[in-house]
Structure 1
Amino acid sequence: MARSTVIAIGASAGGVAALCRIAAAVPDTLKTPILVVLHIGTHRSELPKLLNAAGPLPAKHAEDGEMIKPGHIYVAPPDRHMTVTRGSLRLLRTPKVNWARPAIDPLFRSVAEGYGPSAIGVILTGNLNDGSLGLGEIKRCGGIAIAQDPDDAAYPEMPASAAAHVALDYRVPIAEMSNLLIRLVSGDDGKELVMPITLSQPNAEPDPQIIDGQPFERPIAVTCPECGGALHASGDGEIIKFGCHIGHSYTAEIMATAQFDEMERTMRAAVRFLNERAEFCLQMAEHARLTQPDASAAWQAASKQALDRAYKLRDLVEQDWITPETFAVDQATRQVRA
């Protein structure tokens, strides 16, 4: 019985060559899926094509919602974090992590949560330290933590960080990585086998605070609606005052009103940008209609998408909002009149 149900690999600078060497040395009999994050940013990625040419396992860019198949390599596409939930892949354009999107840590954390001791995490060549925290989560959940030997890496910082902060199970040069993975998957490394598991509970109720598996963290501070500086609160009896270091100050009720007005202004500006994008893409579609029909269709699709989202955002802005600040003012007014 196989030890692992998933292999997660993270790489950055120098990672294309390292990943191709791994792909070239794994056999088509390997039935464990491999999930790959390479720091590609928004740039076009040819990595699946290169991996397909290098070795026997089929490689492709992940698609949102698709189920993971054994013996396939899934690559995070440009500008999307890739995570795994209950055996399916999610692609998220959530904020950058460690200055990167796609980033390694989101994938590793989701693999740790979903597969526990059935997971293998691998950090390859790269700068800085993305992946160290995620690899630590895989290790903490009972999975196997591996890093490329920093002395063997074209860019040693990422594997060196993993070695410094995670109790690695293995640290090997890239030439030995594929054979190690094969042994681990087959259970031939001499360690106790574990049952493949999925830790996620399929019937568990979703957390209403979590959107697409990404929780909103509480802000470190509330900021000034006028200048963006951090606000501090002070009290004088029942009146609470908020002030920033520039000198702007508000009572709680006026602060809430100013904050709401700034939020509405920002959202309406986003509606305007979306509407302008829709118009720009429509003009480009018309420009390409006669000479580049395929490009024209893509511009038209982008225009429709922007307009659809502009309508949704406008509807959101124009919904009724709960305004406790007006309730507090009205209550105070009634008390005075009484």
Structure 2
Amino acid sequence: MTGKSPKVIVIGTSAGGMQALCKLLVNIPDGLPAAIFIVQHLSVDSSAPFLVQRLSQYTTLNCKVAEHEATIEPGTIYMAPADRHLLVNNEKMLVVRGPRENQFRPGIDPLFRSAAAYFGVNAIGLILTGFMSDGVLGMEFIKRSGGTTLVQEPQDAEFPALPLNVIRQVAADYVVPLDEMGALLADLTHKEVSESVTVPADIRQEAQTAERIMTNSTMTSIQDLEEAGNRSPYSCPECGGGLWDLSQPGTIMRYRCHSGHAYSKETLLLGMDNHLEETLWVALRTLEERRNILLNMSQGETDKGNRRWTTIQEERAEEMKTHIERLRSILSKNTLSDEEQLGQLG
């Protein structure tokens, strides 16, 4: 793939993203010869049209909510709608529900991976403020495919964890503050890339697999996963299925189940932690319910004057109380707030 094809800019951000995007767009000049695609982590009840309207106040570029199978137009900004992944595929974009990746939908990695697979050296990836590590793998995909990678200077970011996670694992081409990023993007989109780079087979294969899963609501065959990677000893936190390690030697570890859920190592660990916490709360509730039943049984035996059976039930209830207190102690000491969990990944 050469640098003569149209360029695309893919942007990923989460916490603090809207403020950063507005500041970025102010500094992007008119006549940008590239389309811009944005994934901002959104709650399912967020209004993408409202956010697009807000962005349009800071730029003369055309701003739209991405639509399924719409043609890609240079000089246009497309934002992923809530609860939908945004992918690019040659001249069209795909807006699909699909399985969550890194526990997000829309996810940054799916967009960046598709840009790397189909645009190669003509893909420009940009990570802004945010938490966690969704986007780290995507940046590596773009880097390995010959594209250009930009990261917001962490000290310039409202929430530096995501930029720091990228910088720690990917040799980004540029790390700059928002004030300098608009002019840099303009220069990069006007610059013709002379070298030819072949997109790695594993990136193209995974992009096509994810596209097929998301558009056709089909599962990945076990055979395809066996050919793409190695079966890992881990289970998917979302569906319980087995996970395959798809990483290549010398690349960042990544996992995918045959249902289509995908993870970096950080998001897999966080998913496991959340699943473990849920399991402990269920166990705590079950023990408390069992203790209440034992106490009721004890009271019933007392009313009947059966002291022996009353004592047995009281002893069992006291044993339950000990287990309950231990579980409560574990949950109170080891359960982190969402903010603390996200911050730790920085």
TM range, normalised to the smaller chain?
Answer: 0.5 to 0.7
Structure 2 CA distance for aligned equivalents of residues 115 and 212 of structure 1? 20
> Are positions 1:149 and 2:153 aligned together?
yes
Contact 1:148 1:173 survives alignment (8 Å): yes
Residues 132-167 of structure 1, C-alpha deviations (whole Å, 9 max, x = no match): 001100000000011001111000011101101111
Other structure's SS at 1:106 match: helix
Residues 240-299 of structure 1, C-alpha deviations (whole Å, 9 max, x = no match): xxxxxxxxxxxxxxxxxxxxxxxxxxxxxxxxxxxxxxxxxxxxxxxxxxxxxxxxxxxx
Counterpart amino acid of residue 13 in structure 2:
A
Structure 1 CA distance for aligned equivalents of residues 80 and 149 of structure 2? 20
The normalised TM-score by structure 1 is 0.58
The 3 A distance-change label for structure 1 pair 151 and 212 is same
> Are positions 1:57 and 2:55 aligned together?
no
Q: Give the C-alpha shift of residue 193 in structure 1.
A: 3.9
**Structure 1 residue aligned with 2:134:** 130
Other structure's SS at 1:19 match: helix
Write the mapping of 1:154-303 to structure 2, written as runs, cut at 5 A.
154-187=158-191, 193=194, 210-212=212-214, 216=220, 218=222
Counterpart amino acid of residue 45 in structure 2:
H
The 3 A distance-change label for structure 1 pair 199 and 24 is farther
Structure 2 CA distance for aligned equivalents of residues 198 and 73 of structure 1? 25
The runs of 5 or more residues in structure 2 that have no matched partner are 202-207, 223-230, 243-346
**Structure 1 residue aligned with 2:17:** 15
Structure 1 CA distance for aligned equivalents of residues 211 and 57 of structure 2? 43
Other structure's SS at 1:36 match: strand
Moved more, 154-163 or 44-53: 44-53
**Structure 1 residue aligned with 2:100:** 96
Q: 1:43 aligns with which of 18, 23, 45?
A: 45
The 3 A distance-change label for structure 1 pair 8 and 152 is same
Contact 1:118 1:197 survives alignment (8 Å): no
Residues 46-75 of structure 1, C-alpha deviations (whole Å, 9 max, x = no match): 221111111100111100010100100000
Other structure's SS at 1:168 match: coil
Q: 1:66 aligns with which of 59, 67, 70?
A: 70
Other structure's SS at 2:57 match: helix
The normalised TM-score by structure 2 is 0.57
Contact 2:13 2:40 survives alignment (8 Å): yes
Q: 1:118 aligns with which of 114, 118, 122?
A: 122
Contact 2:87 2:114 survives alignment (8 Å): yes
Q: Give the C-alpha shift of residue 208 in structure 1.
A: 12
Moved more, 81-90 or 117-126: 81-90
Q: Give the C-alpha shift of residue 186 in structure 1.
A: 1.6
Structure 2 CA distance for aligned equivalents of residues 40 and 71 of structure 1? 24
Q: Give the C-alpha shift of residue 185 in structure 1.
A: 1.0
> Are positions 1:78 and 2:82 aligned together?
yes
Structure 2 CA distance for aligned equivalents of residues 193 and 110 of structure 1? 22
Counterpart amino acid of residue 112 in structure 1:
A
The 3 A distance-change label for structure 1 pair 41 and 197 is farther
Structure 1 CA distance for aligned equivalents of residues 171 and 67 of structure 2? 33
Contact 1:114 1:199 survives alignment (8 Å): no
Structure 1 CA distance for aligned equivalents of residues 95 and 200 of structure 2? 20
Other structure's SS at 1:56 match: coil
Q: Give the C-alpha shift of residue 211 in structure 1.
A: 3.2
Task: Give RMSD over aligned pairs.
Answer: 3.3
Structure 1 CA distance for aligned equivalents of residues 210 and 158 of structure 2? 43
Other structure's SS at 1:23 match: helix
Counterpart amino acid of residue 76 in structure 1:
A
Structure 2 CA distance for aligned equivalents of residues 199 and 127 of structure 1? 28
**Structure 2 residue aligned with 1:203:** none
Other structure's SS at 1:55 match: coil
The 3 A distance-change label for structure 1 pair 68 and 194 is farther
Contact 1:3 1:194 survives alignment (8 Å): no
Structure 2 CA distance for aligned equivalents of residues 35 and 6 of structure 1? 8
> Are positions 1:25 and 2:16 aligned together?
no
**Structure 2 residue aligned with 1:236:** none
Report sequence identity in percent. 39
Q: Give the C-alpha shift of residue 4 in structure 1.
A: 6.0
